[in-house]
Amino acid sequence: MKKVIVSKFGGTSMGDAQCMLRSAAVSLQQNSTLVVVSATSGTTNKLIELGQLARSAQNEKAQKLFLEITEKHSQIGKALEISDERKAQLEGLFEELASINKGIYFLKDNSPRALDALVSMGERMSSVLFSQALENTLKTHNSKAKVVWYDVRSVMKTDDQFGKARPLTDEINRLGKIVFAEILSSNAIGVTQGYIGSTPDGQATTLGRGGSDFSAAILAEAVDAAVLEIWTDVAGIATTDPRIVAEAKLIDELSFKEASELATFGAKVLHPATLLPAIKRNIPVFVGSSFEPEKKGTWIKKEVESHPLIRAMAIRKKQVLVTLSTPEMLQTHGFLFQVFKIFNELKISIDAITTSEISVSMTLDDSTLLNKKLIEQLSEIAEVHIEESLSLVSLIGNNINHTPGIAKKIFDAIPEINVRMICLGASKHNFCFLVSEAQAEETLKRLHKVFI
Ligand code: ASP
Ligand code: MG
């Protein structure tokens, strides 16, 4: 049986013709079976802006931006000496983009549904260009392997939560084996889009910003991949954000559990949902740089050789602390049930939580407060107090909840920083606490020095 390798390349790896050729050389060297690509860098943002301009009838600006987007893709095509067939495909996409944009203008509709149709064009355009780059690269290596372009919407079926659609995994797993049959049984290489999908009745959806990693992982599950590779512009996952702590080091390997905590609690390298399919099917994930493919990169696996107490740390900014208090919680039961019911109905997730006898505090992303219903409904069952501009600092490693002295070591390093809330105990792999946003980076710097 063929060793199936799914390789994902992010926006910067698709930046221009040269980046695409470099990425194509990486996929050839890695023997990729299916390559999943993001839109060219900056394009998704531009498409969103285009939708806003069309909606607000700023036609001149919209036209200018439209030309900027299509021109960029035409130029890459030219540099890659694009075939007539692919050129026609690309121009068809430009026309579709113009039509969707007109639709937004005339209908005054930039609902998430219309926007998904619009932004889906980014990945659809880049994947056509990347197919050309791959074909060119195969030719220079005298390879006769065929490149097969796939519209991922025939596989990536999702629900209709436009802008943040959820994949329908069973259906995707069923379709993946059928749609990708050719590349799974020959030496042909597939190219397809990350980030986008479609509802069962064919409307374009997206999985949320940065969703291409997640797409690649879902597809890796669907084709029973042996390896999932995430190629980006940094040579792996670092012990913390190197923009904050210059001494941050790259990590050779981390476990699925450590990586899940790290992705969820603020590390920007991987989309947090990426690891779910990989964990489910035990697919090792590699993270590396398409710009420096010779570097070691980071492996994320079920079993790893070392188990350091603290492997990495991260901050998750823009947190709010919502505290609910009510005397009715005293000596009774069911209060938390009511609280969680509200969060469940509004589909809002809680990151960290602590409780006392008559109050419960939870950290949330500050954007969740935009949903006015949340505070309204919580106020019906308790007094609500909100603190803003906080950051969640987390330390990720092993056996954290069974190691004496760790809390002392942490808090000794930051004697004058006010810690607003602490979460320890639920996980062996995570210790997190809240500090003010203004002090978060300083906290991280000091802890990195002490622990790493
Ligand atoms: N192009 C999409 C974005 O910029 C998805 C991705 O790159 O992962 O969010
Ligand atoms: Mg991206």
Residue ranges per domain, the chain?
Answer: 5-233, 310-451
Q: How far is the CA of 361 from the centre of ligand 1 (A)?
A: 33
Span 157-198, pLDDT tens digits: 999 999 999 999 999 999 999 999 999 999 999 999 999 999
Residues with CB under 5 A from ligand 2 (ion): 10-11, 38
Span 192-232, pLDDT tens digits: 999 999 999 999 999 999 999 999 999 999 999 999 999 99
Q: Which of 212, 231, 233 to mutate to test the pocket of ligand 1 (most atoms within 8 A of CB)?
A: 212
**Nearest listed ligand to the Cα of residue 206:** 1
Report the C-alpha gap between 221 and 171 in whole angstroms. Answer: 12
- Percent of the chain past pLDDT 90, that is, above it, reads 89
Q: State the pLDDT at residue 270.
A: 87
Q: How far is the CA of 188 from the centre of ligand 1 (A)?
A: 26
Q: Which CATH architecture group holds 5-233?
A: 3-Layer(aba) Sandwich (3.40)
Q: State the pLDDT at residue 263.
A: 87
Q: Do 180 and 223 meet the contact criterion of CB atoms below 8 Å apart?
A: yes
Please state the atom number of ligand 1 nearest to the C-alpha of residue 45.
Answer: 4
Token pair of 317, please?
Answer: 């900014």
Same fold, 5-233 and 310-451: no
39 CB under 6 A from ligand 1?
yes
Query: Residue 254 — pLDDT band, cuts 50, 70, 90?
Result: very high
In whole numbers, what is the pLDDT of the chain averaged over residues? Answer: 95
Q: State the pLDDT at residue 271.
A: 87
Please state the atom number of ligand 1 nearest to the C-alpha of residue 39.
Answer: 1
210 CB under 6 A from ligand 1?
yes
Q: How far is the CA of 95 from the centre of ligand 1 (A)?
A: 22
Q: State the pLDDT at residue 60.
A: 96
Query: Residue 332 — pLDDT band, cuts 50, 70, 90?
Result: confident
Query: Residue 272 — pLDDT band, cuts 50, 70, 90?
Result: confident
**Nearest listed ligand to the Cα of residue 210:** 1
44 CB under 6 A from ligand 1?
yes
**Nearest listed ligand to the Cα of residue 38:** 1
Task: Supply the Cα-derived Rg of the chain in whole angstroms.
Answer: 24
Q: Do 232 and 12 meet the contact criterion of CB atoms below 8 Å apart?
A: yes
Does the domain at 310-451 match CATH 3.30.2130.10? Answer given as: yes
Q: State the pLDDT at residue 53.
A: 97
Q: State the pLDDT at residue 370.
A: 85
Span 367-424, pLDDT tens digits: 998 889 999 999 999 999 999 999 999 999 999 989 999 999 999 999 999 999 998 8
